[in-house]
Amino acid sequence: MSVGHTRTIALPRGRVLDLRGGFAVMGVINVTPDSFWEGSRARAEAVTDIAADMIAAGAAILDIGGESTRPGAAYLSPDAELERVAPAIEALRSRWDIALSVDTRKSVVARAAIAAGADIVNDVAALEDDPAMAPLCAASGVPVVLMHKKGVPKTMQDEPYYDDCPAEVFSYLATAARRAIAAGIKAENIILDPGIGFGKRLDDNLALLARLDELCGGGYPVLVGLSRKSFIGSITGRDPAGRMAGSLAAACAALAKGASIFRVHDVAQTVDALRVFQACAGKPEPDWERRA
């Protein structure tokens, strides 16, 4: 059993994202009116309150997104996205030194977000949608998350098909990593995301999780976004509000396969679940006894 990654990732301004404890939880802050789960939508004035709660609960990263990429979502203009994202990042950076990630596939938004204090670019298009994104990330020196998706958000769930989903996704991500390195992005700044729920059927998502150790064994930290997604609802019959238990079970399964960064809505519950799982798997955190 593999439990998490075992290295650090350098961030701008001399800071470090430490994965040597086995995992890092990324709290989702959607400054959007149309994210798939209503509970994840944050009004601009509430962003700092939500962030404070997530940080207190153990989040190592906050991921700020201004464009919904849920199945069926329409494209949002860069200007509209930037109006949502930049003030949120500025507000968070002015108060905390925590790692901030911007969830965007647009270089204009990423550039402004980095200037405002973002440390990581989380690109659901793996740098493919915008030809200026890779050079920007290379020049800025920020870590990047390269995610697999099939098609565009508006139509990606319209009967997606794979002969062998894990093989295709893992091959795509290996190519995306090589392309990023060729563009000047350091290998140690690359994080991979298999894109659970992005142009995948239930069986595809389950196959990806079952074989996630193949991706995690490739040398790059692996991020997974499982929180409250539809594949959990397909198994449990529950709507997004009722999918927390399923989300925690999926997160523990992914940790067992070697995933190290978990993008979630429910930070406190996920941190607790992963800590307990690690302890039961024989890899307790150094300070867990002091919290008893």
Closest CA to 255 of 285, 218, 228, 216: 216
Closest CA to 249 of 230, 228, 268, 263: 228
CA–CA distance, 289 with 266 (Å, rounded to integer): 23
Q: How far is CA 99 from CA 14, 184, 271, in A?
A: 11, 22, 17
Helix, strand or coil for residue 140?
Answer: helix
Catalytic member of 106, 111, 263, 275? 263
DSSP string, 185-229: --GGGEEEE--TTSS--HHHHHHHHHTHHHHHTTSS-BEEE-TT-
263 is catalytic: yes
Catalytic member of 106, 200, 229, 243? 229
Angle between helices 78-95 and 47-57 (to 10 degrees): 50
Q: Which residues are catalytic?
A: 229, 263
